[in-house]
Amino acid sequence: MLVHRLNISLPVRKEMTQALEVARRAGNFQMVNRILVIFALCEGVFPEQVASMFGVCLETIEKWEKLFLVYGLKGLRSKKSPGRPPKLTKSRKRQLASIIEAGPAAVGLSGNCWRSPMIQHLIKEKFGVCYSIHYISQLLKNLGFSYQKAKFEAAHLDEATRNQWVRHTLPEIRQVAKQKQALLLFGDEASFPQWGTLSYTWARRGQQPVVQTSGKRKAYKVFGLIDYFTGRFFHYGTQDKLTSATYANFLTQVLAQTHQHIVLVQDGARYHTSAAMRQFFAAHADRLTVYQLPAYSPDYNPIEKLWKKLKEHHTHLLFFPSFEALTSKVDQALLAFANAPLEILSLFGLPHPMAIPA
Break the chain into its structural domains and give their ranges. 10-76, 90-142, 165-355
Amino acid residing at 297 = S
| Chain-centroid distance, C-alpha 350 | 16
Return the pLDDT at 352: 38
| Pair 88, 130: CB distance under 8 Å | no
User: 174: Cβ–Cβ under 8 A, 6 or more apart, which residues?
Assistant: 184, 228
In a structure prediction context, what are the per-residue pLDDT tens digits for the chain, which is 358 residues long? Answer: 444 567 888 888 899 899 888 888 888 888 888 899 888 888 888 888 888 888 888 888 888 888 888 888 888 887 665 556 778 888 999 999 999 998 888 888 877 889 888 999 999 999 999 888 889 989 999 999 988 877 766 666 788 899 999 999 999 999 999 999 999 999 999 999 999 888 877 778 788 888 888 888 899 999 999 999 999 999 999 999 999 999 999 999 999 999 999 999 999 999 999 999 999 999 999 999 999 999 989 999 999 999 999 999 999 889 999 999 999 999 999 999 999 999 999 998 744 333 333 3
Residue 224 backbone dihedrals phi, psi, to 5 degrees:
-145, 150
CA-based end-to-end distance of the chain: 74
Return the pLDDT at 152: 66
Return the pLDDT at 351: 46
Give the homologous superfamily in CATH for domain 165-355. Ribonuclease H-like superfamily/Ribonuclease H (3.30.420.10)
Q: Where are the alpha helices (DSSP H) in the chain?
A: 10-26, 29-42, 47-54, 58-71, 73-76, 90-102, 116-127, 133-142, 159-164, 170-179, 244-256, 270-273, 275-283, 303-314, 323-338, 341-345
Other Cβ atoms closer than 10 A to 284: 16
Strand bridging mode 183-193 / 262-266: parallel
Strand bridging mode 262-266 / 288-292: parallel
Looking at every residue in the chain, the average pLDDT score rounds to 88
Amino acid residing at 315 = T
Nearest-angstrom CA–CA distance, 271 and 262: 19
* DSSP conformation letters of 41-101: HHTT--HHHHHHHHT--HHHHHHHHHHHHHHTHHHHS------SPPSS-HHHHHHHHHHHH
Q: 342, 185, 159, 146: which is closest to 264 by C-alpha?
A: 185
Nearest-angstrom CA–CA distance, 315 and 39: 60
What are 224's strand-pairing partners?
188, 235
Return the pLDDT at 355: 37
- Residue 104 is given by DSSP the state G
User: 117: Cβ–Cβ under 8 A, 6 or more apart, which residues?
Assistant: 133
